C-alpha cells in the first residue's frame, strides 16, 4: 500500500511531469477510479487548465491548477507515472492526462480502492482533508506527545490512525516500533516518556530514509526487508520474527527485541 514516502515520490513525479504545464487532453479509460465526479465533468473542467505546484498531506496528494484541483488517494495499488503519449498503455492505466510539451501523466491502479477527486477550490480541498491529523513528516516531539496524551488502545493502532497522525501505514508502523524496541500491541497509556521519545525518534529516522528512497526500503537491515521471507528472522538479533494481527492488519515484530 502506498504510504507517506510513496506519495511523496508521486508528488515528485507530478511536479516534474506536470508542474506549470497546461492540460491538452484528458482520457478516462476507467471511471471506476473517479470519486464524486463524472468522466465528462472531469474532462471538461481540466481541459486547458495549467497545473500549479503539487503538495502532499499524509497519504493524499493535491494538484492545484488555475481552476479546480485534483486530489489523489492511491489506495492499495495506485501510482502516478510520467510517460510519452506514444508509450504503450498498460491494462491498469485508468486515467491519462496529456500535457503541453509532449508529456502524459498516467494514473495506474489495479484494485481501484480509492482514486481521483475534483475539488472546485481551496475550501473543497480542505473539506476532503478535514478528518486528517497532522502530517507525520516533520512532526516535533512536543506535538507528538500531546497527540498521544490520554490515547486509549495500542501504539500501532495510534500510529496508523489517519485522524490522529496522517501518513503512516502498516509497513512504516512496524518498522518504527521495531527500531524503537516497542511491541506493537503495547497500550499507549502504558508507555513511559522514554519509550514515546524513542518511537518519535525512530519515526523521524525511518521517514527520512524512506522519503529519500521513495518507498519503505526492503533493505536486509530493516524489518521491512525480512518480513516476507519464508522464515523471517530479526535483522538485529537473528531470532525468528513473530507475526499476528494488530489494529486489523498483519503485524511483524521481534519478541526478543520488542518486549
The strand pair at 55-57 and 115-119 is best described as unpaired
Q: What is the CA radius of gyration of the chain?
A: 20
59 is catalytic: yes
Beta-bridge partner residues of 244:
251
* pLDDT band for position 247 (cuts 50, 70, 90): confident
2 is catalytic: yes
Cβ–Cβ under 8 Å, residues 161 and 214: no
pLDDT per residue as tens digits for the range 14-66: 999 999 999 999 999 999 999 999 999 999 999 999 999 999 999 999 999 99
* Average pLDDT of the residues of the chain: 97
* pLDDT band for position 150 (cuts 50, 70, 90): confident
249 is catalytic: yes
pLDDT per residue as tens digits for the range 10-19: 999 999 999 9
- For residue 249, the SS3 value is strand
> First CA to last CA across the chain, in angstroms?
28
Q: Which of the following is catalytic: 3, 8, 45, 175?
A: 3
Q: Could you give all domains of the chain from N- to C-terminal order, each with its CATH number?
A: 4-128 (3.20.190.10), 141-253 (1.10.8.50)
User: How many residues would you count in the chain?
Assistant: 259
Q: Which of the following is catalytic: 21, 56, 59, 106?
A: 59
Residue labelled with grid coordinates 481501484: 112
Q: Is the pLDDT of residue 108 over 90?
A: yes
Per cent of the chain over pLDDT 70 is: 100
Q: Is the pLDDT of residue 259 over 90?
A: no
Contact partners, residue 56, CB within 8 Å, separation at least 6: 4, 7, 8, 11, 62, 135
Distance between CA atoms of 200 and 209, rounded to whole angstroms? 15
Going by C-alpha positions, the residue among 66, 53, 62, 104 that lies closest to residue 82 is 104
Amino acid at each position: 500500500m502506498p504510504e507517506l514516502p510513496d506519495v511523496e515520490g508521486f508528488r515528485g513525479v507530478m511536479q516534474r511531469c506536470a508542474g506549470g504545464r497546461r492540460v491538452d487532453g484528458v482520457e478516462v479509460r476507467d471511471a471506476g477510479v473517479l470519486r464524486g465526479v463524472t468522466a465528462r465533468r472531469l474532462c471538461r473542467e481540466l481541459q486547458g487548465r495549467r497545473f500549479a505546484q503539487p503538495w502532499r498531506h499524509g497519504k493524499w496528494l493535491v494538484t492545484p491548477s488555475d481552476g479546480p484541483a485534483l486530489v489523489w488517494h492511491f489506495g492499495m495499488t495506485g501510482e502516478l507515472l510520467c510517460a510519452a503519449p506514444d508509450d504503450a498503455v498498460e491494462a491498469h492505466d485508468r486515467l491519462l492526462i496529456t500535457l503541453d510539451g509532449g508529456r502524459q501523466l498516467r494514473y495506474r491502479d489495479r484494485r481501484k480502492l480509492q482514486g481521483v477527486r475534483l475539488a472546485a477550490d481551496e475550501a473543497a480541498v480542505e473539506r476532503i482533508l478535514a478528518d486528517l491529523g497532522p502530517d507525520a513528516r516533520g512532526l516535533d516531539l512536543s506535538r507528538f506527545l500531546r497527540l498521544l496524551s490520554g490515547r486509549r488502545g495500542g501504539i500501532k493502532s495510534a500510529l496508523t490512525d489517519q485522524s490522529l497522525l496522517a501518513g503512516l501505514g502498516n509497513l512504516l508502523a512496524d518498522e518504527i516500533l521495531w527500531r524503537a524496541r516497542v511491541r506493537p500491541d503495547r497500550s499507549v497509556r502504558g508507555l513511559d516518556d522514554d519509550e514515546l521519545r524513542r518511537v518519535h525518534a525512530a519515526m523521524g529516522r525511518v521517514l527520512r530514509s524512506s522519503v529519500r528512497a521513495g518507498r519503505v526500503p526492503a533493505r536486509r537491515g530493516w524489518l521491512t526487508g525480512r518480513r516476507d521471507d519464508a522464515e523471517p528472522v530479526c535483522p538485529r538479533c537473528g531470532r525468528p520474527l513473530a507475526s499476528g494481527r494488530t489494529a486489523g492488519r498483519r503485524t511483524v515484530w521481534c519478541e526478543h527485541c520488542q518486549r
